[in-house]
Chain A
Amino acid sequence: MKIDITGLSVEYIMRRSGDKLIALKEVGFSIATGKFVCVIGPSGCGKSTLLKVLAGLQSPSAGEVLLDAAPVQGPGKNRAMVFQSAALLPWRTVLRNVTYGLELQGVSIQEAEKIAGDFIDMAGLSGFEESYPREISGGMQQRVNLARALVTRPDLLLMDEPFSNLDPQLRNVMQLEVERIWEQTRQTTLFVTHLINEAIFLADEIIVLTARPGRIKEIVPINFPRPRKLGIKKTPEFHVLEDRLSELMDQEFHEVVYQQSQDDRP
């Protein structure tokens, strides 16, 4: 799915203070079909807001968001989101959590369970179909989260810091898994993270957002051949990219600190 965003701004009115909060300001970029794009930026820069706009959960205050040349109008079957918290229904088994999205989209339960089978294998969940979320580890829960999105065969996969609650080792494993799965599906993917090395490992392109209000700071292409192995994280090329992106992020981090000091001023 081709994404074209021009002049996108999102503003919230803070409920308590009534102040206006500008999450995104005049953001514009395009993503070609079948690309894996990571979005990084300091916390509070509107990364998640960007995903929500694309998912149709948040409407823009200004600007145009086109998916295959059609403007976004609410959520749709062609998109699926992987959430930061696993957001599993505790009363459903793994299998029925995976089929949840399909069921909401009107697929019968029998049909949904049949389709889900392949994706349960793909996400490494075989043998856990009848387990409940409480019975499986955090890593497994994220696999369910991922499988639930994949099973709807979206043209655009939106991933919102899906591994931020996992420990570093598990994170590496899941990055590898996502890369492997993406090799098979080749869905256009937008992956939000605040970890630079995660972004470099996964992405074809990295969009760096500025501190609030989020604007595009830079778009960095990543050209490691695929399939990628964790070994690339130790190569000099990887380190060069890491340094460059850290520097970009550091500039923005200083900006955040400055903003906060301004906010704190009496």
Chain B
Amino acid sequence: MNRRGVGYGLLLALLLVAPYAVYPVLVMKILCFALFACAFNLLIGYTGLLSFGHAVFLGTAGYVAGHSIKVWGFPPELGLIFAALTAAALGWVIGSLAIRRSGIYFAMITLALAQLMYFVFLQVPFTGGEDGLQGVPRGKLLGFIDLTDDLNLYYFVLAIFVFGFWLINRTIHSPFGQVLKAIRENEARAISLGYDVAKYKLLAFVLSAGLAGLAGATKTLVFRFATLTDAHWHTSGEVVLMTLLGGMGTVFGPVAGAATIVTLQNELADKVGSLVTVIMGAIFVFCVLVFRRGIVGELGALYKKMTGAR
């Protein structure tokens, strides 16, 4: 427990000074994807559900935040909350349909519904189709903090990330989280103990969708636009990769995975162009073959081994 506390402290301290050492927008992008991956991890790592269409929540919330801020004139904080709630509501709809099945069928239904939404976004006028929804103003937080300043925005984004990360952790270590773990471990047994597992899975799905939405909405605020890329199935695949690479079912894993992938993409995009997807693929294969527990998972196992050997 203490070791974990030190970990949290270190990560937070690092993030507080990060914008002075690294380009803030890059760190904000990492934070958005880290929150997205953490939300995804709540499902796969702690409930055992592989959603293969999670980008739909990131994308939807991105558009909703963009539209509500730009066209309806919502202040940024309200736009984010509204977008996250919309994503959660969509999560309720998609979740209710998908949770009737499990395993690969669950993954396929989530993918299919996400693709359906993708084509809706491609066609409806307010998203700007292929061009995306451009020129979203960052506005003033609570009416007086100017978010056009990258540093101000950075600390706002960090606060959102910390809130999301805290909420996910609290969920994992709550009475509800205990039931989720029981369902992941042995679903039939959980049923025989009197739990309506579908309801628990649905609530986990809605929470995950809402937080993924919060990540997507925040991303729109950072980049001032929302595009189809965020709702594309590539992004759904990317979040799987981030979570697996970092360590599924670990608290810090998705953060480490998101940081690695986003940084690599950022560094490599200029140098190798489209080869970046090949490199990502190679990393994925390497990860699955050599360190299956992911970066954080392997480090944790190593730490246990070392302290256990003593």
Are chains A and B native binding partners rather than an unrelated pairing? no
* Interface residues of A, Cβ cutoff 8 Å to B: none
